[in-house]
Chains A and B, each alone.
Chain A
Amino acid sequence: MRTDPIRDKVAIVGIGASKLSRDGGRSIGALACDAVRAAIRDSGVPREAIDGLSGIYSTDQPTVWPGYVSESLGLSNIVWSNCATPPSANTVSEGILAVAAGACDYAVCYHSKFRWDTVSAAARKDPLRKAPRGAFDPALSMPLVESLGVPNGMFAAFQRHMHLYGTRRDHLGMIVVNNRNWALENEQAVCHNAPLTMDEYMAAPLVAPPLSALDMDMPIDGAMAVVITTAERAADLPGKRVLVEATANAIAGKSDFFFQAFDTYDSYRLLIQRLWDKTGYGIDDMDLVNIYDGFSSLALEWIEAAFDVRGEAGRLLEDSWDAKTGRLLFNGRIPMSTHGGNLGEGRVQGFGHVMEAVRQLRGDAGSRQIAGAQRVLVTNGNNPVNAGMILRAG
């Protein structure tokens, strides 16, 4: 087993979120400030002590950079700042690394999402939702497919998965219905009052065959943030700390977003294996898996990587599905995304998966609480932008 300078040395000591909604009546900047203030207050760290700030420069939508948050909240002792690639766990991962390296003592990591007119047809009628101008094409390949309407390779990936392995839409349905059912118990979830049955899922029109709108996370207004410090400093703070076991992100080749990213999802396997290598754990050491579900088909690929069942996600999902409760329990014991995931809680690009891990490990998850939860696997993102971590109760 590798020795690791991060393991048990870094802690998450505060979490905070804005209201999550289809229309919060506030700007994307205000949402970020709502989350950051809430996280700092939750941590008990004095505002003046915050010296690290990390956001996300999103590929699909602009968001706010650390300078904006610093200016808006009077955080003027920042000695380390950063804008990570998405997904949300990546800004958290960057903060963990910065604290472990001593680049800063108390890092706030945030992400703010907004229902811009670029992602929501309804938003085009709202003059307050006009996205900042400027296309973002970091792989430089988008012009090659724009005449085709920039077709989404992730959908083609699931098409191929069905062809190769006999995977079916109802397998995705188990993921979607599981997450939506958990969201019913999460008061901040956008789908808190919107139950969904498997029959309703199967009857949904296919807007991008083989996927329906229920397979895609909905654009919302919402921001989330965490405060990170060393485990040692965390002991002096009032709240319960959650320790970092390991964090990673991975690029395993074949990563062009439009041409290759959907090929084998080897990046997911590389990332998961890295987490196991760093900790000596395996999937059965986890008490909860918060699996990224920006698209349900991505969750299916993450499940294959996490449970090491390439091509057999369908069978694993069938074995883990309880039709009576409409929920998944892997290996008879491990629930998935008890906050509802992106599909149930709303699209903060996987930040909710980190937040829920912290709540569960603090014992603060209310009716969703997993008794005695000690370790949570969090996965986030696509190929080649992803992040994952293992957190444990402190």
Chain B
Amino acid sequence: MTCRDGRAARNACDRTVLRGRPFVTNNEPSRIDHDTQAYWEGLRARKLTLARCGDCQHWIHPPKACCPVCWSDNIGHEQPSGDATLFSYLVQPIAPGAPPSVVGWAELVEQPRLIVVAEIVGATAETVCIGARLHLEWVGDGPHFQPVFRQEATS
């Protein structure tokens, strides 16, 4: 895997994800519980794995143990297509002199307001655009893969 300027994925990861953040920057979170276990296992396999009701098919993220629509306890896990649009974003300063990162609220095409929060690549603070089409990509080396969303160029 290469990043947008051709360097190795590891460097891309260093640059876009691991720079000077105050928190852990891999897929080893501070806390995993019964409901989020499948999500984190998915990331280690480079799969965005979201909770989905096995009865009414409603996607649930952040994951919960019960469906908010039909109250079913039959919660499974599936991978969405990875296509999304940018609902909103935050330009986040990282370090003095370094370009800020763009954190996006990616609304997945599978369901209104099904939102994954992740770094946006392929856009700067100047070019990021609410409503833009996004597609899921990955940065980092296993087992520490990070989902990011690439903003597609507007034609």
A interface list, Cβ under 8 A from B: 135, 137, 139-153, 155-157, 159-160, 163, 207-209, 254, 256, 258-260, 262-263
Contacts and interface: CB of A to CB of B under 8 A. Distances in A.
17 contacts: A139-B62, A143-B29, A143-B32, A146-B30, A147-B29, A147-B146, A149-B22, A149-B23, A149-B103, A151-B117, A153-B105, A156-B88, A156-B103, A157-B88, A160-B87, A259-B61, A262-B88
A258 B100 CA distance: 20
**Which of A143, A209, A256, A262: most chain B Cβ within 10 A?**
A143
Given A258-B62, A259-B117, 4 more contacts: A144-B117, A146-B30, A147-B29, A254-B113
Contacts, number: 93
B88 A149 contact: no
Given A153-B105, A259-B115, A135 B30 contact: yes
Contacts of A145: 117
B123 interface: no
Contacts of B22: 149
B26 interface: yes
B62 A147 contact: no
Given A143-B36, A157-B88, A263 B125 contact: no
A140 B27 contact: no
Query: Which 5 pairs between the two chains have the least Cβ-Cβ distance?
Result: A143-B29, A156-B88, A160-B88, A141-B62, A146-B23
Nearest to A151: B103
B1 interface: no
Contact of B118 (A148, A149, A155): A148
Contacts of A148: 21, 23, 92, 103, 117-119
Nearest to A263: B113
B45 to A, nearest CB: 17
B105 A259 contact: yes
Contact of B62 (A149, A156, A163, A256): A256
B89 A140 contact: no
A137 B131 CA distance: 30
Contacts of A159: 88-90, 130
A152 B90 contact: yes
Contacts of B125: 209
Contact of B90 (A137, A156, A260): A156
B99 interface: no
Given A151-B90, A151-B92, A156 B23 contact: no
Interface in B116-131: 117-119, 125, 130-131
Contacts of A260: 113, 115
A183 to B, nearest CB: 28
Contacts of A207: 93
B131 to A, nearest CB: 8
A163 B130 contact: yes
A146 B146 CA distance: 12
B113 A149 contact: no
Nearest to B105: A156
A127 to B, nearest CB: 21
Nearest to B118: A148
Interface in B1-48: 17, 21-27, 29-33, 35-36, 39
